[in-house]
Chains A and B, each alone.
Chain A
């Protein structure tokens, strides 16, 4: 029999500490929808998504009700659309984005990811056209998310793509300037992008994945913080142990939800992504965990060390709780989505340079950061190149999701509302990397890629 302490602990985590399963993401392969007639291809895409994901939202809601655990998002990731666009190279791929958006509306999910291209070694047919179309695609759709992988430990960094993405991020922000530049919040530039990531905006369904799969992303920064708050003056080894134990419990709920969803939808279970994903809700913040460890404010010296410990302990605790772990798995640091980071950025304790250091030890990268509207495309490309280099050399995923706040300056604010949150526009280093970026070519893969 389960003891009453355990029962009350679980209920307290859900009621007071924001424990939830962040997302059930159904990965759907669209390779069977490839057609040289783009209209036919779009029709097949719409039909396949609607057929496969017909019961996704209802199943998520049923599981949530039965187990009493909130499941916040039901989402879909698809094969990188550039692979479909390759078959109809003369047509504007935005039609695919519209088909994805309509399908998302029909099945009731709040985001669909995969308006993507993988160009870490070079552009294949379809890739360049898709990348060029991203600003338009993100401005005419609401639920479509886009990502581009521009580097990997195995391939190096495609600097032509890095240069291009600086421009694409700016254009995307410009085209949605009337909506707080929200388009750029749905665009991620990756190095070492995982093919089974359930979290938006970077989710896509990799070419090595099965026809359909269920991936689940857990969350729970509030729970970890509450455990540390109760722990008193224990030493840092004990802090790591407490985080591991908590991450285990959080992940077990994700594993249970993933197994149930897989069974009820008759779709294979892929992975559980062991991530601490913050929300702007008070208490659901990764920054507060770091502060609970003993920092006056997130961004102070010591932040990188605290985050490294947190990231590692989350994985160690979670990995035993799930049969298959994947995706990004670690701690997220999206500035505008995390109440503690927003405060730290406003008070300038948390700076872009500190965030860059933090990305070397967390699971993603420079995430949801508003930058001044007059930041040039070259500087954005420079930021992307730095981030990609950290990912490439450390054999980890890094990502850049920057929002150039068109018409605004550092110190002003952007407000996206909802889970994307709000936050101050952060200072950047204005010196130009233009010549470096204009050289083009490819940064060779590092020694650590030669493992065979």
Chain B
């Protein structure tokens, strides 16, 4: 079971590290990361495997969202099925 973590906002040091640490702490495995910085704007899309996640998914969502607020970026954590439903026939 996979989820998609997106991070959008003003670039600063350690965004990727902090998000990765949050994931590692609850056994969420990172499968793929795409990241770019364009004109100071940070954009990252991360595919993660949440099968072995040690906390309820909702808790992971809350933890990452508040981490995003700390860093001044917007973090979304969403189950991949929402994207599959919307964009695949």
**Assembled-state Cα–Cα distance A410/B66 (Å):** 49
Q: Does B45 contact A (CB under 8 A)?
A: yes
Q: A1-B47, A8-B6 are in contact. Are A69 and B82 (CB under 8 A)?
A: yes
Q: Cβ of A252 and Cβ of B58 under 8 Å apart?
A: no
With a CB–CB cut-off of 8 A, which chain A residues contact B57?
A: 65-66
Q: Cβ of A67 and Cβ of B32 under 8 Å apart?
A: no
**Assembled-state Cα–Cα distance A252/B82 (Å):** 8
Q: Cβ of B79 and Cβ of A66 under 8 Å apart?
A: yes
With a CB–CB cut-off of 8 A, which chain B residues contact A7?
A: 4, 6, 45, 83
Q: Cβ of A256 and Cβ of B83 under 8 Å apart?
A: no
Interface residues on chain B, number (Cβ under 8 Å)? 25
Tell which of B4, B32, B79, B85 touches A252, judged by Cβ atoms closer than 8 Å: B85
Interface residues of B in 15-48 (CB under 8 A from A): 32, 34, 43, 45, 47
Q: Does A68 contact B (CB under 8 A)?
A: yes
Interface residues of B in 32-88 (CB under 8 A from A): 32, 34, 43, 45, 47, 57-58, 61, 74, 76-88
With a CB–CB cut-off of 8 A, which chain A residues contact B8?
A: 11
Give the contact-size bracket for chain A.
20 to 34
Q: Does A429 contact B (CB under 8 A)?
A: no
Closest A residue by C-beta to B43: A8
Q: Cβ of B87 and Cβ of A67 under 8 Å apart?
A: no
Q: Does A139 contact B (CB under 8 A)?
A: no
**Assembled-state Cα–Cα distance A6/B86 (Å):** 9
Cβ contacts A249-280/B at 8 Å (1 or 0 each): 10011011000000000000000000000000
With a CB–CB cut-off of 8 A, which chain B residues contact A69?
A: 78, 82
With a CB–CB cut-off of 8 A, which chain A residues contact B87?
A: 2-3, 6, 9-10, 249
Q: Does A43 contact B (CB under 8 A)?
A: no
Q: Does A412 contact B (CB under 8 A)?
A: no
Cβ contacts A38-75/B at 8 Å (1 or 0 each): 00000000000000000000000010011111000000
Closest A residue by C-beta to B87: A6
Q: Cβ of B34 and Cβ of A4 under 8 Å apart?
A: yes
With a CB–CB cut-off of 8 A, which chain B residues contact A68?
A: 61, 76-79, 82
Closest A residue by C-beta to B74: A15
Closest B residue by C-beta to A4: B45
**Assembled-state Cα–Cα distance A244/B18 (Å):** 41
With a CB–CB cut-off of 8 A, which chain B residues contact A9?
A: 87
Closest A residue by C-beta to B84: A2
With a CB–CB cut-off of 8 A, which chain B residues contact A8?
A: 6, 43, 45
Q: Cβ of A255 and Cβ of B85 under 8 Å apart?
A: yes
Q: Cβ of B82 and Cβ of A249 under 8 Å apart?
A: no
Q: Cβ of B77 and Cβ of A10 under 8 Å apart?
A: no
With a CB–CB cut-off of 8 A, which chain A residues contact B86?
A: 6, 10, 249, 252-253
With a CB–CB cut-off of 8 A, which chain A residues contact B83?
A: 2, 6-7, 10
Q: Cβ of B78 and Cβ of A256 under 8 Å apart?
A: no
Q: Cβ of A1 and Cβ of B45 under 8 Å apart?
A: no
Q: Cβ of A253 and Cβ of B85 under 8 Å apart?
A: yes
Taking the closest CB of chain A, its distance from the CB of B6, in whole angstroms, is 6
Q: Cβ of A11 and Cβ of B76 under 8 Å apart?
A: yes
Interface residues of A in 69-115 (CB under 8 A from B): 69
Which of A6, A15, A66 neighbours the largest number of chain B CB atoms within 10 Å of its CB? A66
Closest B residue by C-beta to A64: B58
Q: Cβ of B81 and Cβ of A67 under 8 Å apart?
A: yes
With a CB–CB cut-off of 8 A, which chain B residues contact A67?
A: 78-79, 81-82
Taking the closest CB of chain A, its distance from the CB of B52, in whole angstroms, is 17
**Assembled-state Cα–Cα distance A66/B77 (Å):** 8
Closest A residue by C-beta to B34: A4
Taking the closest CB of chain B, its distance from the CB of A41, in whole angstroms, is 39
With a CB–CB cut-off of 8 A, which chain B residues contact A2?
A: 4, 80, 83-84, 87-88
Taking the closest CB of chain A, its distance from the CB of B59, in whole angstroms, is 10
With a CB–CB cut-off of 8 A, which chain A residues contact B77?
A: 68
With a CB–CB cut-off of 8 A, which chain B residues contact A4?
A: 34, 45
**Assembled-state Cα–Cα distance A62/B57 (Å):** 10
**Assembled-state Cα–Cα distance A70/B1 (Å):** 21
**Assembled-state Cα–Cα distance A4/B46 (Å):** 10
Q: A2-B87, A8-B6, A68-B76 are in contact. Are A256 and B82 (CB under 8 A)?
A: yes
Q: Could you tell me which A residues sit within 8 Å of B by CB distance?
A: 1-4, 6-11, 15, 62, 65-69, 249, 252-253, 255-256
A3-B87, A8-B43, A11-B6 known; 5 new pairs, CB 8 Å cut-off, are A4-B45, A10-B86, A62-B58, A249-B87, A255-B85
Q: Could you tell me which B residues sit within 8 Å of A by CB distance?
A: 4, 6, 8, 32, 34, 43, 45, 47, 57-58, 61, 74, 76-88
- Sample (11) of A-B pairs whose CB atoms are under 8 Å apart: A2-B4, A7-B4, A9-B87, A10-B82, A11-B8, A62-B58, A65-B57, A66-B78, A67-B79, A67-B81, A68-B77
